[in-house]
Amino acid sequence: MDKVAMVSGANRGIGREIALELHRRGYRLSLGMRDPSSFDNDLDAFLFAYEARDGHAARQWVNATVDRFGRLDVLVSNAGICKMVTFDDDASELLDETLDINVKAPFRLAQAALPHLRRAGNGRFVQLASLSGKRVKNLNVGYQMSKHAVIALTHAVRRAGWDDGVRATAVCPGFVNTDMAAGLADLPPDAMTQPGDIASIVVNTLELPNTASMAELLINCRHEDML
């Protein structure tokens, strides 16, 4: 039976490339995004209007996916934002938004999906994090806090689901050639990691056996000591 994969933030960038790669490899897809009409759905995918800040959206989407396909094998938590939150700003609203979308929403998705991933016997959870979750190189404290937090979330999912065959991986790229990186990096687009390469790495990781689990994957387009 074809495996079923959920991907959040699937309408563009890394999320879209992951969806395309999963489709190429025969997965049935449930794709979450704010505006499904913005997605050119030539993949025969189930599209769900997923609003990350809605506290009920995660469970509704998971339930709708299982109702549609009868199972859930893979959750790729990809949706996220990068807003500037520093110590010098009155940025409490931006910090709340960052933590809501980058931390609370992935937690709610993992919480709703974990029982189904356990039942699958070899369920997979992938969290798109960042190298900003492994070190601090600038003063965008809000983004860095959020990415450190979702790496911890990934390890918690890994521990909670291990005995039931669930494997969880935090994928931590540096600069990727997406809209989010535009204007942030001092690199030309072709010098950044490409979204399609991230997608290949993610799907290859999903297909590893339970005996070859990777808790974290660090991906960089430039040299940094230890990263």
pLDDT, tens digit only, all 227 positions of the chain: 699 999 999 999 999 999 999 999 999 999 999 999 988 878 899 999 999 999 999 999 999 999 999 999 999 999 999 999 999 988 899 999 999 999 999 999 999 999 999 999 999 999 999 999 999 999 999 999 999 999 999 999 999 999 999 999 999 999 999 988 877 778 999 999 999 999 999 999 999 999 999 999 999 999 998 87
**Cα(95)–Cα(102) distance, integer angstroms:** 10
- Is 225 a member of any domain? no
Phi-psi domain of 81 (left: phi exceeds 0; alpha: psi -120 through 50; beta: other): beta
- Is 17 a member of any domain? yes
**Cα(17)–Cα(198) distance, integer angstroms:** 8
- Is 163 a member of any domain? yes
E strands, 37-184, where?
Answer: 46-49, 74-77, 124-128, 167-173
Q: How far is CA 200 from the centre of its chain?
A: 14
Predicted local confidence at residue 225, as pLDDT: 86
CATH number of the CATH domain containing 43: 3.40.50.720
Q: What single DSSP character describes residue 102?
A: I
Predicted local confidence at residue 1, as pLDDT: 67
* Single-letter code of the amino acid located at 70: G
Q: Which domain holds residue 31?
A: 4-219
- Is 120 a member of any domain? yes
Is residue 50 flagged as an active site residue?
Answer: no
pLDDT, one tens digit per residue, over 49-92 is 999 999 999 999 999 999 999 999 999 999 999 999 999 988 89
**Cα(135)–Cα(153) distance, integer angstroms:** 17
Tokens 């489709």 belong to which residue?
23
Catalytic residue among 102, 143, 150, 176: 143
Please report the DSSP string for 113-128 in residue order.
Answer: HHHHHHHHSS-EEEEE
Q: How many domains does the chain fold into?
A: 1
Predicted local confidence at residue 91, as pLDDT: 86
Distances, alpha carbon 41 to alpha carbons 6, 15, 19, 157, 166, in Å: 15, 14, 11, 31, 29
- Is 227 a member of any domain? no
- Is 224 a member of any domain? no
**Cα(89)–Cα(149) distance, integer angstroms:** 21
- Angle at 126 (CA atoms; ends 130, 3), nearest 5 degrees: 155
